[in-house]
Structure 1
Amino acid sequence: MESSSKGMCTVERRGRVHLITMTGAGEHRLNPDLLAALRSAVAASAGAGALVLAAEGKFFSNGFDLAWARAAPPGLHGAMDGGLRALLADLLALRVPTVAAVTGHAAAAGCALALAHDAALMRASRGLLYMSEVDVGIKFVDFVAAVLRDKVPDAAARRDLVLRGDRVAAAEAVRRGLVDAAVDGGPEDVVAAAVAEAERLAARGWDGEAVAEIRKAAWPQLWAQVKDHGAGPAPARPRL
């Protein structure tokens, strides 16, 4: 087992699996700093057999960092949207299978990030999937809407998530096809199950280029929205 720090996240090798963990007890709000750290960590996974994204604390991610947006000049707001758009492009173009270990609440852009993986496992006893935009009066950005169109194909499930603001616990998320499994126990059990699933996928020995191209073809609306934004170096945080 090898590990290293990438600032706001850690990077660890567990066998063939590249495990990225957002660190700390906070809400893991997606600001330019965290997004740049995640992009760097994803880029470092090239030699692995599969990737898992997890988080410490009660949140997987509570969405965009609205406090950062309020403090930043309007001209810099695009750095946050652009950072997530680029991260999703990196994940779709990645030549290894990806698994989200949804260890806690995943809301708004954080929910979209979880759903953008090839597979998602969720803690059974705690945590919700929640698209909060309808409740707080915020429009969807185009690529987040594309995640939902491609990854939540059932029209009723998508409606309840985006137009009713349903807060979906793990068992119901499995029933609606939002995640693949509900895992009993604590966050470490969810991570262990996600790593085991990633190991199982890595053991298939798939051609990496084929994996990436099939993924792009399987979720074409999302790929069309993000394809011109990833695959480059993660930018530094813009100065306020």
Structure 2
Amino acid sequence: MCTLEKRGNIFILTLTGEADHRLNPTLIDSITAAVRRARSEATAPSALITTAQGKFFSNGYDLKWAKQDMERRGKIMSSKLRLLVAELINLPMPTIAAVTGHASAAGFVLALCHDYILMRRDRGFLYMSELDIGLRLPAWFIALMKCKIGSPVALREVALASAKLTGDIALQKGIVDSVHNNADETLKAAEKLGEELVRRNWDGNTYSGIRTTLFAQVLDSLESDETVGDFGKKEAKKAVSRL
């Protein structure tokens, strides 16, 4: 489901397996375990890069898995993703998302949890799809989006227009830090940025302490058990049919 490779002081977490990397409990648990392993194996200032194989970074929650019991399974996915988000926010090292394919809905959220986002230019977009498929966004998604998307106009386009943002558009709106010609160049740029950050020789606990203060409202919002939609069976069936 994912691999973790250490190159010097850089950890590279790569989503593997399913083509669109849907965030079901198995994949979320695998990512969380990799993040915890990076924490435990870091012996000096380090950085974490998260990336993915194929045309998708992540296509969001696995709603097809959840559809048999949307209320229960939806809350399981929400609980596990909120735990992963908290792990990333508390991780004592800089984090970089190398978005080498589409990042939709909860997959977009996963990218936003990182300190830096790098994106490829030739393929993929950032897309908060909930409005298009008839689901409400949970408050903690909104809290994270407000924290990471500074422009009210850009935030409106993401949340209230379900805009599909290419790398260049996302860069113009200040949502990503840089764009690169293809997947290989995106990952190489992420490694270069990671090396630059490691050379700053920051104390990891100090770094994560500042980050948790910056993300205080997000961390507070993670206490809610609200999940995407919090809808009944009828809405669930409609949403899954639109996938």
What TM-score does the superposition give when structure 1 sets the normalisation length?
0.88
1:145 Cα deviation after fit = 1.3
Q: Which of 196, 214, 220 is the equivalent residue of 2:210?
A: 214
Match of 1:35 among 7, 25, 28: 28
| Whole-Å separation in 2 of the counterparts to 1:224 and 1:112 | 16
Partner of 2:61: 64
Cα shift at 1:227: 6.8
Q: Which amino acid aligns with 1:19?
A: I
Secondary structure in structure 2 of the residue aligned to 1:44 = helix
Q: CA deviation at 1:226?
A: 2.9
Offset, 1:25: 5.5
Q: What is residue 37 of structure 2 aligned with on the other side? A: 44
Structure 1 residue 228, shift from structure 2 partner: 9.4
**Unpaired runs of at least 5, structure 2:** 226-243
**Partners of 2:103 and 2:63 in 1: CA distance:** 15
Distance in 1 of aligned mates of 2:221 and 2:92: 19
Q: For residues 197-230 of structure 1, what are the alpha-carbon distances to aligned partners after superposition, in whole Å with 9 as ceiling and x for unaligned?
A: 111111111111111111111122212123799x
Which range moved further: 46-55 or 217-226?
217-226
CA-to-aligned-CA distance 1:12-40 (integer Å, 9 cap, x gap): 01111010000135110101000000000
Is residue 151–residue 219 contact of structure 1 (8 Å, CA) maintained in 2? no
1:205 aligns with 2:201: yes
Q: Which amino acid aligns with 1:42?
A: V
Offset, 1:192:
1.5
Partner of 1:17: 10
1:158-205 Cα deviation digits (max 9, x unpaired): 0011101110000110110110000112x2221121111111111111
Alpha carbons 1:26, 1:57 under 8 Å: kept: yes
Does the 8 Å contact 1:39/1:90 carry over to 2? yes
Q: Percent identity?
A: 40
RMSD between superposed Cα atoms in Å: 1.6
1:146 alignment partner AA: A
Query: Partner of 2:191 in structure 1?
Result: 195
TM-score of the superposition, structure 2-length normalised? Answer: 0.87
**CA–CA distance in structure 1, aligned partners of residues 11 and 223 of structure 2:** 23
CA distance in 2, matches of 1:16, 1:226: 30
